[in-house]
A and B are shown apart, each in its own frame.
Chain A
Amino acid sequence: MIELRDVSKIYQIGDERVRALDHANLHIAAHEFVSVIGPSGSGKSTLMNIIGCLDTADAGEYLLDGTRIEDYSETQLARVRNRKIGFVFQNFNLIPKLSAAENVELPLIYQGVRRGERARRVAEALERVGLEKRSSHLPTELSGGQQQRVAIARALVTRPSLVLADEPTGNLDSHTSREIMQLFAEMHEQGNTIVLITHDSDVARQAKRVVHILDGKLTEVSA
């Protein structure tokens, strides 16, 4: 499913070269629920960007569903993100002008799904996160937890190979966090592959498998 082989990423900040990922190796099988835990500056975000095809590695190999990502053009990367990956961000990243339903619909529009089919799948995804009654609300009219549910619906609507969550509970209170984590657990039970990136060990523990990241190096922590 996901195969990282000796992946490195180096940033040049001023005169200093920062090795954000240092020969990282990672294998994630389908239907796994993996969390990556590490303090800030450990290379979490870089890892997430590379797994999410938002950025490409400087060295090493990344295979997603058996295909090498490094060779892809930007248009092909956009296609992969659209079809294979569902993102859930810390700050929800909904488009403020669009209603909940329209936000969820957006990736389907980019896929070129027909209108009727879109409406059906959007309703289905919103129902799954328990927001079917809020579909016409704007993000500003929703609570943080509800916004994150919309974002999860948007991630699920394309039936992606991988759901990639970056600190999904980082901006939420503990009660709401538990609800969201419950949702992730349900998603996992339904067969979704989930990679969750966090600095919170309580959150990380809810996954079946925990990977630790520090200074760009990955180490397995058995659950």
Chain B
Amino acid sequence: MALRMALRSISANKMRSMLTMLGIIIGVFSLVVLVSLVSSTTNSITDQVSGLGSSLITVSVSDSRGRPIHLEDLEDWIDSEEAISAMSPAASAMVQGRCGEKSALFTLNGVTGDYAEISGLKLLHGRFLKRSDLLSATRVCVLDRQSAETLVGYDDCVGAVISLGGNRFTVVGVTESEESLASFFNMSLTAYLPFSTLYRTTDSVSAEITAFTVGPAEGFTVAAAESRMKELLLERFGDEDACRISSQNIFEDAMKNVTSVLTILLGGIAAISLIVGGVGIMNIMLVTVTERTREIGIRKAIGASRRTILVQFLIEAVVLCMLGCALGVFFSWAVLRLASLIVVSMESLRFRLEPSVVILSAAFCFAIGVIFGLYPANKAARMKPIDALHYGG
């Protein structure tokens, strides 16, 4: 009933109501659009970034307590744990690599066949390492595209024989270059060897695995695999400090930081414009109360209590705000749709209404309606019936 009265008095003065709501509409519009834009853009960047080994869980063992981890242990874990489907040691050594006349500094990564899956390496030519390579410690290696082109001279160099640290290796596959922060700063070239081959040919790497990576099985989250891994390691070493386990993704974390700062900043600016809109509501409600002094007097004379009048004007202010909010959300939706159509060429970029910010702005508008409506409504409620009745006539 009170709601119907409010809608009625708002529609009785459409032009003024519209202008009053404009502040709220613009405020909501900027809040929703800005936050949605930031979050949509971030999502699409995050999608691209998360290809960079984001499901990687890294374990580094600092103190093996006389029970060092060997390749067989990793294999056992893969077989026994359903949350874990891929594991690979992470050991590396720097050696000089040669092919014909050319030579370059190489980082040899001792890994298993699972490494390609865990870190999302894409194979270009040939094959990646196999289990048999690890079992018999064969002298094979997989190069990434950059090292193949630099050392051998062309990327499709499967079958080529190169020298790494004085040992001859046959190239069995070529992968896409790994885009990681580590490879970005590393000036050396990259080759992947079976872990067993690496520790046999290099002095600096032993058969004891001190660092390895873990990939979660399908249907399991990174967090689930990580917590299971933690249990396994605690069981083995009996001490949480014996090793460190992490699934951090530098890119994602950095992105999250930037986004939250940006969201707060833009959201704050938009919130200020919403407050300005609220002041507009208060202003017009004060005018309305003065204009309707007589009506208030009549209502009070026939028995409306202070509370009834207060609620009536408060509802009017809140309805005004919520209507403005709804219109603002509608315009935001329209503009975001339009923006999506315009940038349709960038497939990964989809602008969509962020539901959380819609809910947030609705709550904010409600609060503004109540806060800025309270003063005029209270002013109306406190009017004395005789004064109000004799006002202007």
A binds B: yes
A89 to B390, CA, bound (A): 11
Task: Decide if B300 touches A78 in the complex (CB within 8 Å).
Answer: yes
> Which residue of chain A has the shortest Cβ distance to B309 in the bound complex?
A78
Which one of B8, B305, B308, B389 has the highest number of Cβ atoms from chain A below 10 Å of its Cβ? B305
Task: Decide if A79 touches B303 in the complex (CB within 8 Å).
Answer: yes
> Of B302, B305, B389, which one neighbours A106 at CB under 8 angstroms?
B302
Q: Does B350 contact A (CB under 8 A)?
A: no
Contacts of A55 in B (CB 8 A): 384-386
Q: Does A97 contact B (CB under 8 A)?
A: yes
Q: Does B9 contact A (CB under 8 A)?
A: yes
Q: How far is the CB of A41 from chain B (nearest CB, A)?
A: 14
Contacts of A89 in B (CB 8 A): 389
Which one of B295, B302, B307, B389 has the highest number of Cβ atoms from chain A below 10 Å of its Cβ? B302
Task: Decide if B393 touches A54 in the complex (CB within 8 Å).
Answer: no
> Of B294, B306, B386, which one neighbours A49 at CB under 8 angstroms?
B386
Contacts of B384 in A (CB 8 A): 55
Q: How far is the CB of A164 from chain B (nearest CB, A)?
A: 10
Q: Given contacts A49-B386, A109-B1, A110-B308, is CB(A97)–CB(B303) below 8 Å?
A: no
Q: Does B125 contact A (CB under 8 A)?
A: no
Task: Decide if B301 touches A52 in the complex (CB within 8 Å).
Answer: yes
Task: Decide if A83 touches B303 in the complex (CB within 8 Å).
Answer: yes
Task: Decide if B303 touches A81 in the complex (CB within 8 Å).
Answer: yes
Q: Does B168 contact A (CB under 8 A)?
A: no
> Which residue of chain A has the shortest Cβ distance to B295 in the bound complex?
A95
Q: Does B298 contact A (CB under 8 A)?
A: yes
> Of A49, A78, A94, A95, which one neighbours B303 at CB under 8 angstroms?
A78
A contact residues, total (Cβ < 8 Å): 26
Q: Does B304 contact A (CB under 8 A)?
A: yes
Q: Does A136 contact B (CB under 8 A)?
A: no
Contacts of A52 in B (CB 8 A): 301
Task: Decide if B302 touches A107 in the complex (CB within 8 Å).
Answer: yes
> Which residue of chain A has the shortest Cβ distance to B8 in the bound complex?
A97
Contacts of B304 in A (CB 8 A): 78, 82, 110
A62 to B304, CA, bound (A): 22
Q: How far is the CB of B240 from chain A (nearest CB, A)?
A: 66
Number of A-B contacts (CB under 8 A): 62
Q: Does B230 contact A (CB under 8 A)?
A: no
> Which residue of chain A has the shortest Cβ distance to B301 in the bound complex?
A87
A78 to B300, CA, bound (A): 7
A96 to B12, CA, bound (A): 11
> Of B9, B302, B307, which one neighbours A81 at CB under 8 angstroms?
B302
Task: Decide if A110 touches B303 in the complex (CB within 8 Å).
Answer: yes
A162 to B298, CA, bound (A): 17
* Interface range for B: 20 to 34
Q: How far is the CB of A142 from chain B (nearest CB, A)?
A: 16
Q: Does B299 contact A (CB under 8 A)?
A: yes
Q: Does A182 contact B (CB under 8 A)?
A: no
* B interface footprint on A103-120 (CB within 8 Å = 1, 0 otherwise): 000110111000000000
Q: Quick one: which of B278-316 are within 8 Å of A by CB?
A: 294-295, 297-308
> Which residue of chain A has the shortest Cβ distance to B382 in the bound complex?
A74
Contacts of B297 in A (CB 8 A): 93
Q: How far is the CB of A114 from chain B (nearest CB, A)?
A: 11
Q: How far is the CB of A108 from chain B (nearest CB, A)?
A: 10
> Which residue of chain A has the shortest Cβ distance to B302 in the bound complex?
A107
Contacts of A78 in B (CB 8 A): 300, 303-306, 308
Q: Quick one: which of A55-83 are within 8 Å of B by CB?
A: 55, 74-75, 78-79, 81-83
Contacts of B12 in A (CB 8 A): 97
A119 to B298, CA, bound (A): 21
Q: Does A176 contact B (CB under 8 A)?
A: no
> Which residue of chain B has the shortest Cβ distance to A97 in the bound complex?
B12
Q: How far is the CB of A50 from chain B (nearest CB, A)?
A: 10
A83 to B305, CA, bound (A): 12
Q: Does A177 contact B (CB under 8 A)?
A: no
> Which residue of chain B has the shortest Cβ distance to A96 in the bound complex?
B295
Task: Decide if B386 touches A54 in the complex (CB within 8 Å).
Answer: yes
A49 to B308, CA, bound (A): 21
Contacts of A94 in B (CB 8 A): 298
* A interface footprint on B1-24 (CB within 8 Å = 1, 0 otherwise): 100000011001000000000000
> Which residue of chain A has the shortest Cβ distance to B11 in the bound complex?
A97
Contacts of B306 in A (CB 8 A): 74-75, 78
Task: Decide if A75 touches B305 in the complex (CB within 8 Å).
Answer: yes
Q: Does A91 contact B (CB under 8 A)?
A: yes
Q: How far is the CB of A165 from chain B (nearest CB, A)?
A: 13
Q: Does A154 contact B (CB under 8 A)?
A: yes
Q: How far is the CB of B379 from chain A (nearest CB, A)?
A: 15
Please give the residue numbers on chain A whose beta carbons come within 8 Å of chain B beta carbons, in ascending order.
49, 52, 54-55, 74-75, 78-79, 81-83, 87, 89, 91, 93-97, 106-107, 109-111, 154, 158
Interchain Cβ contacts under 8 Å between A and B, 28 examples:
A49-B386, A52-B301, A54-B301, A74-B306, A75-B306, A75-B307, A78-B304, A79-B303, A81-B300, A81-B301, A82-B303, A87-B301, A87-B302, A89-B389, A91-B393, A93-B298, A93-B389, A94-B298, A95-B298, A95-B299, A96-B295, A97-B12, A106-B299, A106-B302, A107-B303, A110-B305, A111-B303, A154-B302
10 additional A-B pairs beyond A78-B300, A81-B301, beta carbons within 8 Å, are: A52-B301, A54-B385, A54-B386, A55-B384, A78-B306, A83-B303, A87-B302, A107-B303, A109-B1, A110-B303
Please give the residue numbers on chain B whose beta carbons come within 8 Å of chain A beta carbons, in ascending order.
1, 8-9, 12, 294-295, 297-308, 384-386, 389, 393
The 6 closest A-B pairs by CB, nearest first: A82-B303, A78-B305, A110-B303, A107-B302, A54-B385, A93-B298
